[in-house]
Amino acid sequence: MTTFGMVPGAVDLSSAAEAGIREEMAATTAAGAAALTGVMPMAPDADSAEFAAALNATGAAYLTTAGEHAGQRAAFSGAQGLASATGVSTEAARAIASAISGVV
């Protein structure tokens, strides 16, 4: 019989690490948002205005992607926490069932 082994503490630690990485990503992305989307034209000509608009659009696209990535890390962290709690409760239920079947 093959058994699945999980160390809940290790999974919880990984979940906390993912949450920390997500927080750091969100903070650094927010800190750089103004620089990424606040580009001003270098001169009052059409080329400078178009270039500034392109840079602002690129910055906005990056911020959207970084925000999505941070959200995915948050979801992964939550899934790890849920997996750990599920594993612990499943093992507790299995132990109770085993104890009850041993009494009967």
Residues of the chain under the 70 pLDDT cut: 1-4, 103-104
pLDDT for position 4: 65
Is 80:58 a contact under the CB 8 Å cutoff? Answer: no
Distance from C-alpha of 75 to C-alpha of 88, rounded to nearest angstrom:
20
Name the one residue in this structure whose structure tokens are 């979801």. Answer: 75
Distance from C-alpha of 76 to C-alpha of 100, rounded to nearest angstrom:
36
pLDDT for position 2: 46
Domains of the chain: 9-103 (1.10.287.850)
pLDDT for position 102: 76
